[in-house]
Homo-oligomer: A and B are copies of this chain.
Amino acid sequence: MKLKPKHIQISSGGPYVAILNLKDCEDNDIHRGDRIQIYSKSKSVVAIVDTTMDDSFVAQGEIGFTYEISKKLRVTNPVSVEPMGKPYSLKHIRKKLDGSKLTKKEIFEIISDIVNNKLSEVEIAYFAAAGYVRKFSFEETVALTEAMVNTGSILNLNSKIVLDKHCIGGVAGNRTTMLIVPILASLGFVVPKTSSRSITSPAGTADTMEVLANVALDLKTVKRVVEKTNGCIVWGGALSLAPADDAIIRVEHPLAIDAVGQMIASVLAKKKSVSSTHVLIDVPYGRGSKVSDLRKAKKLAELFVAVGKRIGLKIKVVFTAGKEPVGNGIGPALEARDVLYVLMNHENQPLDLREKALMLAGNLIELATRKKNGYRLAKKALDSGLAYRKMIEIIKAQGKKVTRPQEITLSEDYFDAKVSNSGIISYLNNRLISELALTAGAPKDKRAGIYLFKHTKQTIKKGETLFRVYAENPKKLAFAKEFYERNKKHFIELK
């Protein structure tokens, strides 16, 4: 049937959803949730049907395009609409849910249908649930990674060696990427770093870098930045690298499930998509972090290395202390300021962040060069100011906002958390500190967050300030205060 497009600017949040008048649906035996193919000259998309009874919204003879379809089909002339059967990939998802292993071809069909918006969010959720409950085998994980890479865009770089790093997360602060990239790029290595925005933490690398520079670049611009400066620190979300991954993560979010195979595929597909060759993975472990002990961390590492090998990535995994925040600032502006302090060798620099970044950069250099002087090279790049100058170059190439810490002003809405006993700090509760920063408005409110005055192993006296909590508006500050008061006892352990 022929229908006239009506662009209605509701976002479905991902899948292509088209809205049809109920009468047209009844006449053509189309039901809500069915798939249709929409043709407009040379282009076509598969969309999922939603229905309306309101003629003034979408009349008979019209088809409502949600924002996602409008972006793809910018047409006003009538389009052809044909009902479609269910995609075969539903059978594969059912098969996995039933406990059978999937073949490479079946996994490719699922991932390809996700990318082409042929599966609804409910259907993708079943795939996520199946992978979570039934686990992905090694071969399935490899197939999943390859399918994700092959159904997305690729950043092609003219370099034999391309470095990358990833941290599996769960530690507040910990903004090492923004140090490692300029260090390595200043030494001549190519480091096209794409990062995510925060989903559940007070700041992702993309949120933090955004305080200093534009991060939402398109693939062409990223290529230009990397060719000019050797490096970049950009938001991966705008680049359509392994886009199936984003769709799966979106449906995993409500239940916060995170299947190991899916996580490994997700990380490595993003790396492979930017043509990386050598990848360092930071696995923080211990109380309060994502991986509870070293045994689990090592098992995860083995899997990373083995899958990496199969898809042509040299991988090294380092295990780091995950039980307390790294750096003093938590939240985008506060973390960005820490990064600049370290790059400038400023007296306010958090030494733990500096040391961790040097260690990681050193390891990555050694993985790429097979020499033993990685740490020394990294330290020289940092101490000499080369890394800072490289960072300014990168910031300018991406679209400058800020290059000096004093340009980052902090909010005047804050309160201080003071301790009621004296002692040596034996434990700082990572998870609670993150939640407090979130309550104060991070990462959405860039200047909201926490500044830590003390770390573990340091002495603190009764009445001294442990940390300061910043918010951008008084209401959120009040929420944060209330959250702090309610959980006061659990933020710290003394001995």
Contact = CB atoms under 8 A, between A and B. Distances in A.
A125 B54 CA distance: 28
Contacts of A256: 94
7 contacts: A8-B57, A10-B52, A11-B51, A86-B254, A97-B129, A125-B125, A129-B129
A33 interface: yes
Interface stretch (A116-124, A147-155, A271-279, A421-429): A116-124
A10 B94 contact: no
Interface of A: 8-13, 19, 26, 29, 32-33, 50-54, 57, 67, 86, 90, 93-94, 97, 99, 120-123, 125-126, 129-130, 132-134, 251, 253-257, 441, 444, 476
B52 A97 contact: no
A90 B255 contact: yes
Nearest to A132: B97
Given A9-B57, A255-B97, A29 B129 contact: no
A479 to B, nearest CB: 10
Contact of A125 (B8, B13, B126, B132): B126
Tally of this chain's copies: 2
A120 B32 contact: no
Nearest to A7: B54
B11 A53 contact: yes
Nearest to A444: B29
B53 A32 contact: no
B11 A50 contact: yes
A8 B56 CA distance: 9
A378 to B, nearest CB: 38
Contacts of A97: 129, 132-133, 255, 257
Contact of A257 (B26, B94, B132): B94
A54 B8 contact: yes
B90 A254 contact: yes
A137 B251 CA distance: 27
Contacts of A99: 133
A134 B256 CA distance: 19
Contacts of A476: 29
Given A125-B125, A130-B129, A52 B255 contact: no
Contact of A133 (B52, B122, B133): B133
Contacts of A132: 97
Contacts of A54: 8-10
Give the top 3 A-B pairs by smallest Cβ distance, nearest first. Answer: A9-B54, A129-B129, A125-B125
A93 B54 CA distance: 36
